[in-house]
């Protein structure tokens, strides 16, 4: 079974054909998906998708791009929302110093609330990090020293030092279609050194369609291309890549009953 650990099915790009997108994913062998919350005021939409499909779960959180509009978010609010039975993770949250669509201090404050909620609930923290390696490393290490929490660095494209230090905290990593891009050799180099038992795969659809679908709207049905690239980079067979990533997924998202 293939598992797409990060989809954005509530995105407007899927408004016209969401059901068909889900059907195509299943036909492509994707047996489970986690649809991601990008801001807490969208949680109702996200949870409704998970409620409607036994093979789709969800998260709750606010993306760093949206942090400016959710500046007063508290860990308590996240914990309350995370009580929903289909919620399996806290996020997507983190730091994005490339686009800087929210002030950096606001991003950090909202991120800290998510960390606290992940610790309080025991759910994995789904982290977005771009051009923020030093601050991200510092925040994760300082927070972890106060009490451990489960951690996923999603769509990993950051440097080897953050990967190494996050791995020392027990972090998991997800590989996306970026791994297939011609110019992403540095990403593939980091993927080759990730802990073998802590790698999962994702599409991050509708964004980042993998080669040979690049330029199109991404869909979970394209996940096999990501898995194939991961297998190539790691020197695994496709069957081994599927088994490793499935085991890692259920070890991380342990609120989901293992099939």
> Can you tell me the mean pLDDT for 85-98?
98
Residue 224 pLDDT greater than 80, yes or no: yes
> Can you tell me the mean pLDDT for 130-135?
98
Instruction: Identify the band that residue 150 occupies on the pLDDT scale cut at 50, 70 and 90.
Output: very high
What is the residue extent of each domain of the chain? 2-252
Percent of the chain exceeding pLDDT 70 equals 100
Reported residue count of the chain is 259
* The pLDDT value given to residue 32: 98
* The pLDDT value given to residue 20: 98
- Give the CA distances from residue 140 to residues 86, 105, 109, 162, 181, in Å, rounded to whole numbers and listed in that order: 26, 15, 13, 10, 28
Tens digit of pLDDT for each residue in 241-255?
A: 999 999 999 999 999
* The pLDDT value given to residue 259: 77
> Can you tell me the mean pLDDT for 73-82?
98
> Can you tell me the mean pLDDT for 12-28?
98
Residue in the structure block whose two tokens are 């993306």: 63
> Can you tell me the mean pLDDT for 178-184?
98
Spell out the CATH class of 2-252. Answer: alpha beta
> Can you tell me the mean pLDDT for 216-230?
98
Instruction: Identify the band that residue 230 occupies on the pLDDT scale cut at 50, 70 and 90.
Output: very high
């Amino acid at each position: 079974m293939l598992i797409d650990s990060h989809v954005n099915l509530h995105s407007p790009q899927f408004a016209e054909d969401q059901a068909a997108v889900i059907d195509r994913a299943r036909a492509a062998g994707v047996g489970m998906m986690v649809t991601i919350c990008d801001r807490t005021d969208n949680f109702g939409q996200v949870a409704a998708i998970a409620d409607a499909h036994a093979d789709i779960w969800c998260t709750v959180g606010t993306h760093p791009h949206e942090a400016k509009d959710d500046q007063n978010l508290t860990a308590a609010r996240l914990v309350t929302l995370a009580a929903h039975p289909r919620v399996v993770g806290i996020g997507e949250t983190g730091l994005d110093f490339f686009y800087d669509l929210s002030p950096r201090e606001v991003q950090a404050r909202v991120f800290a609330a998510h960390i606290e909620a992940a610790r309080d609930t025991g759910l994995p923290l789904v982290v977005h990090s771009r051009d923020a390696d030093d601050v991200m490393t510092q925040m994760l290490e300082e927070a972890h020293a106060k009490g451990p929490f489960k951690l996923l660095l999603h769509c990993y494209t950051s440097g080897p030092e953050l990967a190494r230090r996050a791995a020392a905290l027990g972090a998991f990593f997800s590989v996306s279609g970026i791994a297939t891009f011609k110019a992403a050799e540095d990403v593939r180099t980091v993927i080759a050194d990730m802990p073998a038992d802590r790698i999962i795969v994702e599409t991050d659809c509708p964004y980042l369609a993998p080669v040979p679908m690049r330029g199109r709207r991404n869909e979970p049905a394209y996940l096999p291309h990501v898995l194939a690239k991961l297998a190539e980079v790691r020197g695994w067979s496709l069957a081994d890549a599927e088994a490793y990533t499935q085991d890692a997924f259920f070890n991380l998202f342990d609120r989901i009953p293992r099939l």
